[in-house]
């Protein structure tokens, strides 16, 4: 197996070749690769191959042995593919509908609710004894087209609480957890000291929309674990450091007021090319969140390979190492109860359209390849679970 250093040298050779055609691009890439080298002294994916992929246990089994839930996001398109579905049922203990519970999916008009797609996913989950999560009750990015015209300062609170009451009570008692509020904080886009994202909800209702949403969810489904879910919490970068601080402040405020929030969801959309990972900073953040009495879920884990070398072995090694490095830190924290990847197979991943590779090759961010074979990422997750000391 190649060491990370060897892999990067190989990658550099490849990129140097590219450099003849596109010097500026190659310069940028070499810069990134140099950064990899100085950061990752540990051998890259050194003995991951030795762990083997041909094991009888699935990811959900490795997770369960450490008191963790493993699952993934899926959508009706993926679940209409019997090969994907078989793989999903083998590996996962919990399903999260990728889009089917968002406003855009269930609110065709201000007066209508359409639960048909979500109901079908719940039926699949229940038939196969999987848990299901709800994602998400309040998120400004998935609002329907009619929203701006129909919602104003006068009716905003009623529209939001009526939505939560209807949706959360439709599924009451049947979901493991709800992402009640998603991505309320975006420090880079915020003019405010609390980092709140300038969403329609914030504009119409002020910051109290967050607690209002949690109270409404608790009333409609007293059994579900209520989660605040957010992104950019992973790296030692100015953006992520500020985001962690703002999220922690928000959670402290909610808890001190007695708002029924039970857990933090960390999206963990990681980047294979990002080298600024600081285990101590992440650990401290997780400890701080846990000390508020909150559980922690990793809700949307994936690793984009958009800016990695084309060679599949190299790419898979770097992506798998990013998973394992991250999970090794996260799984030390006893408050972490679940790890979900945002998709299971490279065949069905949002990153094909959101983070496509400039060279047009298909992306490889998830545990299974397009043919549902286990990849090094699968091994990295299985081994991180197996070695978790908890």
Site string for ligand XIL, 371-390 (x = CB under 6 A): --------------------
Closest approach, Cβ 350 to ligand XIL, in A, equals: 3
Rounded distance, CA 300 to CA 342, Å?
Answer: 4
Residue 98 or 234: the one with the smaller Cβ distance to ligand XIL is 98
**Nearest one of 207, 190, 103 to 148, comparing CA atoms:** 103
In the complex, least distance from residue 386 CB atom to ligand XIL, rounded to whole angstroms? 28
Kindly tell me which residue out of 49, 85, 99, 362 binds ligand XIL, with binding defined by CB under 6 A.
99
Whose CA is closest to 122, among 101, 102, 104? Answer: 101
Nearer Cβ to ligand XIL (161/182): 182
In the bound state with ligand XIL, the residue whose beta carbon lies nearer, of 350 and 385, is: 350
The binder of ligand XIL chosen from 201, 209, 277, 350 (CB under 6 A): 350
Q: Binding to ligand XIL by residue 3, rule CB under 6 A? A: no
> Shortest distance, CB of residue 305 to ligand XIL, whole angstroms?
17
In the complex with ligand XIL, which residue's Cβ is closer, 33 or 225? 225
Q: Is residue 267 close enough to count as binding ligand XIL by CB under 6 A?
A: yes
* 321: contact with ligand XIL by CB under 6 A: no
Could you say whether residue 98 binds ligand XIL (CB under 6 A)?
yes
Considering only residues 26 to 85 of the shown chain, the ones binding ligand XIL according to CB under 6 A are none
Number of residues that bind ligand XIL (CB under 6 A): 6
Q: Given the DSSP bridges, would you call strands 131-138 and 263-266 parallel, antiparallel or unpaired? A: unpaired
CA distance 349 to 363: 9
Range 164-193, binding ligand XIL (CB under 6 A): 182
Residue sitting closest to ligand XIL (CB): 350
What track of x and - describes contact with ligand XIL for positions 296 through 315 (by CB under 6 A)?
A: ----x---------------
Whole-number Å distance between alpha carbons of 288 and 261: 15
Q: Which residue bears the tokens 């008009």?
A: 109
Q: Least distance to ligand XIL from the beta carbon of 342, Å?
A: 6
3-state secondary structure of 296: strand
What gap in Å lies between CA 289 and CA 263, rounded to an integer? 9
For residue 70, the SS3 value is: strand
- Nearest-Å Rg of the Cα atoms of the chain is 21
| Number of other CB atoms surrounding residue 110 within 10 Å | 15
Pull the structure tokens for residue 154: 């006068």
Nearer to ligand XIL, 37 or 81 (CB): 81
3-class SS of residue 191 = coil
3-state secondary structure of 51: helix
Does residue 341 interact with ligand XIL by CB under 6 A?
A: no
Distance CA 316, CA 215 (A): 43
Least Å distance between CB 243 and ligand XIL? 14
In this structure, are residues 262 and 290 in contact, taking their beta carbons and an 8 Å threshold? Answer: no
- Residues within the interface to ligand XIL (CB under 6 A): 98-99, 182, 267, 300, 350
């Amino acid at each position: 197996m190649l060491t990370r250093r060897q892999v990067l040298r190989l990658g550099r050779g490849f990129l140097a070749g590219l450099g003849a055609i596109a010097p500026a691009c190659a310069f940028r890439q070499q810069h990134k690769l140099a950064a990899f080298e100085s950061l990752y002294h540990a051998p890259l994916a050194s003995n991951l191959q030795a762990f083997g992929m041909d094991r009888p246990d699935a990811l959900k089994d490795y997770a369960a042995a450490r008191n963790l839930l493993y699952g993934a996001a899926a959508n009706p398109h993926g679940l209409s593919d019997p090969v994907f579905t078989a793989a999903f049922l083998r590996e996962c203990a919990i399903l999260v509908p990728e889009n089917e519970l968002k406003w855009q999916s269930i609110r065709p008009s201000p007066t209508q609710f359409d639960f048909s797609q979500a109901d079908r996913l719940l039926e699949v989950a229940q038939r196969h004894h999987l848990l299901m999560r709800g994602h998400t009750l309040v998120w400004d990015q998935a609002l329907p087209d009619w929203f701006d015209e129909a919602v104003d300062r006068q009716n905003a609170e009623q529209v939001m609480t009526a939505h939560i009451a209807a949706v959360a009570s439709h599924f009451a008692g049947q979901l493991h957890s709800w992402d009640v509020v998603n991505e309320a904080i975006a420090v880079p886009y915020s003019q405010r000291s609390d980092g709140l994202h300038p969403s329609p909800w914030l504009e119409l209702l002020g910051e109290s929309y967050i607690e209002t949403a949690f109270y409404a969810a608790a009333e409609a489904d007293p059994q579900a674990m209520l989660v605040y879910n957010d992104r950019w919490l992973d790296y030692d970068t100015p953006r992520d450091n500020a985001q962690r601080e703002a999220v922690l402040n928000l959670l402290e405020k909610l808890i001190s007021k007695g708002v029924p929030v039970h857990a933090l969801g960390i999206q963990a959309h990681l980047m294979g090319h990002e080298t600024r990972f600081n285990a101590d900073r992440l650990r401290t953040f997780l400890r701080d969140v846990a000390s508020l009495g909150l559980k922690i879920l990793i809700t949307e884990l994936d690793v984009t390979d958009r800016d990695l070398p084309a060679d599949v072995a190299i790419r898979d090694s770097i992506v798998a190492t990013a998973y394992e490095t991250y999970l090794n830190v996260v799984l030390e924290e006893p408050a972490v109860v679940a790890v979900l990847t945002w998709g299971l197979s490279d065949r069905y991943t949002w990153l094909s359209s959101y983070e496509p590779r400039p060279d047009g090759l298909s992306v490889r961010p998830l545990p299974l390849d397009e043919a549902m074979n286990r990849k090094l990422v699968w091994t990295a997750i299985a081994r991180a679970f197996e070695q978790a000391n908890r």
